[in-house]
Amino acid sequence: MGILVTDSRYSWSRLAITLLVGTVINAGMWAIIVIMPVVESEFGGSRTMASLPYTLTTIGFATGNYVIGRAVDRFGITLSLIVAAIVTALGYGLATLSTSLIMLSVAQLIVGFASAVGFGPLIADISHWFVRRRGIAVAITASGNYLSGAIWPLLLAGVLQDSGWRMVYLVLAVTTLVVVIPLALTLQRRVPEKVQITAQQASTLNVRSSGLSPRALQYLLGIAGIGCCVAMSMPQVHIVALCVGLGFGPAVAIADVVGRRRVTNPIGVAR
């Protein structure tokens, strides 16, 4: 039964939909980076203060991966995606009303929290639909985050230049609702219980062979993720503002950042 369900034609079509969803909703992680120079100019303050919204975005993103992951276990990926898409759009909308960096930072905390559904929770969901090709399926899903960072700055560069960053956020809010919610409804099918039990048994055997307890493995991965993100904070965030300040534009900067992330994380493993 597992062979008929996992690694099937439906699994690959589900992976394609998952990648598209991730590419759209992960824009919540990148949007503030693109507009940081404009925000710094509008609200004043140092680059340190202008970085605060992104700091809260990442805090929200980390928390959201855990909390929404629990929600997916209980309610399924479809409902979790729909609610997260609505909350993400509300976060974008709140950001457009910001009159200070503090208000924008709070809005970004919301955006980061809700848009996290497009990373860990989506990766966990698609992993149930593959056995032989699970590694490549997880890597493709994780790539939605990178594609989002490469595509959206190019698509919205004109909007940012002509109408300002608030219009960029409104476009992202509408796009998130229009694209993610309908696609989420196509992901309602769940893996049969028998396949889940078989996968859980295989996972248990793999954990035992590693010589580490699940908790120890989780802690080590968490430390590795924090180390990676700390090391990447400079090129991932501030290089965009630098390129914009030098007149190259946000699209060039984001392309450079995504290229660096591929080099440091070539197979798309969660950062």
| Percent of all residues in the chain with a pLDDT value above 90, rounded to a whole number | 46
Per the structure, the count of domains in the chain is: 1
Q: What is the pLDDT of residues 9-45, one digit of tens each?
A: 999 999 999 999 999 999 998 888 888 888 888 887 7
Question: How far apart are the C-alpha atoms of 171 and 165, rounded to whole Å?
Answer: 10
Q: Could you tell me if residue 254 is inside a domain?
A: no
Q: Could you tell me if residue 60 is inside a domain?
A: yes
* CATH code for position 93: 1.20.1250.20
Instruction: Please check the confidence at residue 271 and state whether its pLDDT lies above 50.
Output: no
Mean pLDDT of 226-237: 76
Q: What is the pLDDT of residues 62-100, one digit of tens each?
A: 999 999 999 998 999 999 999 999 999 999 999 999 999
Q: What is the pLDDT of residues 152-198, one digit of tens each?
A: 888 888 888 889 999 999 999 999 999 999 999 999 998 877 776 77
Q: Could you tell me if residue 173 is inside a domain?
A: yes
Residue 246, pLDDT score:
72
Residue 166, pLDDT score:
95
Q: What is the pLDDT of residues 240-252, one digit of tens each?
A: 667 766 777 665 5
Confidence of residue 60 (pLDDT cuts 50, 70, 90): very high
Q: Could you tell me if residue 155 is inside a domain?
A: yes
Q: Could you tell me if residue 138 is inside a domain?
A: yes
Q: What is the pLDDT of residues 108-135, one digit of tens each?
A: 999 999 999 999 999 999 998 998 898 9
Q: Could you tell me if residue 14 is inside a domain?
A: yes
Q: Could you tell me if residue 93 is inside a domain?
A: yes
Mean pLDDT of 220-238: 79
Does 257 or 233 have the greater pLDDT score? 233
Q: Could you tell me if residue 80 is inside a domain?
A: yes
Q: Could you tell me the residue range of the domain that residue 156 belongs to?
A: 2-190
